[in-house]
Amino acid sequence: MPDPDSPIDHRPVDAVLFDFHGTLAQVENPVAWVLAAAAACGADLDRAQATILADRLVTAGRAGGPVPYRVPPHLAEHWADRDLYEHAHRAAYTGLAATVSTDVEGLADALYERLLGPDGWLPYADTEPTLRTLHEAGIRVGVVSNIGFDIRPHFAAWGLDGLVDAFTLSYEVGRCKPDPAIFLRACGMVGADPERTLMVGDTPADAGAVRAGCAALVLPAAEPGRPNGLGATLALAGCTT
């Protein structure tokens, strides 16, 4: 009789779904983010200036960072819709950045542009070997993300696009985690039964996959570029490195 305390140890896995931010990749260091964006605007900040500004911008609300303490009323609608529409995502985060006073003209837009390219992100050290091992074992891989822009170019730039079978992005499918519908859509896109699918993420929203019939593994987020325990996925999927 299966152990009720560890059901995923006994479930065959045909597919693994991964969250993006905090699971497969992390946004760049906030100070590096500000320095790069300022440079794109033609401004040369020293590190002390960039550190102070980065602290204020992260507090105001950075995509990939902590949820802002307060969302100004004029941004409330964009904030609510940020993971459903590209324009709302951009408006929400550029609007939050614009609440921070700065002498760098165009900084809010430049900060947002860093998100849209691979240079603004770092895959975790475990990401490539984990995805490759699953791919080589014939286990289908999907990425499921609450996000307002296309992350496929990031995976292509990192040489990981050939290791992912499908991307299920909230702004494309009109559903956000933890809604079971987004997980069911992801299972359909990779051609796997939810009962034989494992969802791996770093938040309670990712654990919402259980309501769609999937098993779920929630890992702690780690600092950019560091291992974050993704290798545990392989044992649950019946793979070895």
Query: To the nearest 10°, the Cα dihedral for 173, 179, 182, 188?
Result: -140
The pLDDT confidence band at residue 240, using thresholds 50, 70 and 90, is: low
CA distances from 45 to 85, 104, 188 (A): 33, 9, 48
pLDDT tier, 10 (very low <50, low <70, confident <90, very high otherwise): low
Instruction: Summarize the confidence of residues 210-223 as an average pLDDT.
Output: 90
Identify the pLDDT of residue 2.
35
CATH of region 7-24+124-236: 3.40.50.1000
Residue 124: CB atoms within 10 A of its CB come to 23
Given a cut of 90, is residue 8 above it in pLDDT? no
Tell me: pLDDT of 239 over 90.
no
CA distances (Å), origin 82, targets 88, 109, 119, 168, 175: 5, 16, 22, 16, 12
Q: Among 53, 99, 105, 56, which Cα is nearest to 78's?
A: 99
| CA–CA distances in Å: residue 194 to residues 164, 188, 215 | 18, 9, 8
Domain boundaries, the chain: 7-24+124-236, 28-120
Nearest to 22 by CA among 187, 146, 134: 146
pLDDT tens digits for range 142-184: 999 999 999 999 999 999 999 999 999 999 999 999 999 999 9
- Other beta carbons less than 10 A from residue 135's beta carbon: 16
Whether pLDDT at 4 is above 80 = no
* pTM of the entire predicted model: 0.91
Percent of the chain with pLDDT over 70: 94
In this prediction, residue 64 has a pLDDT band, given cuts at 50, 70 and 90, of confident
Res 7 pLDDT > 90: no
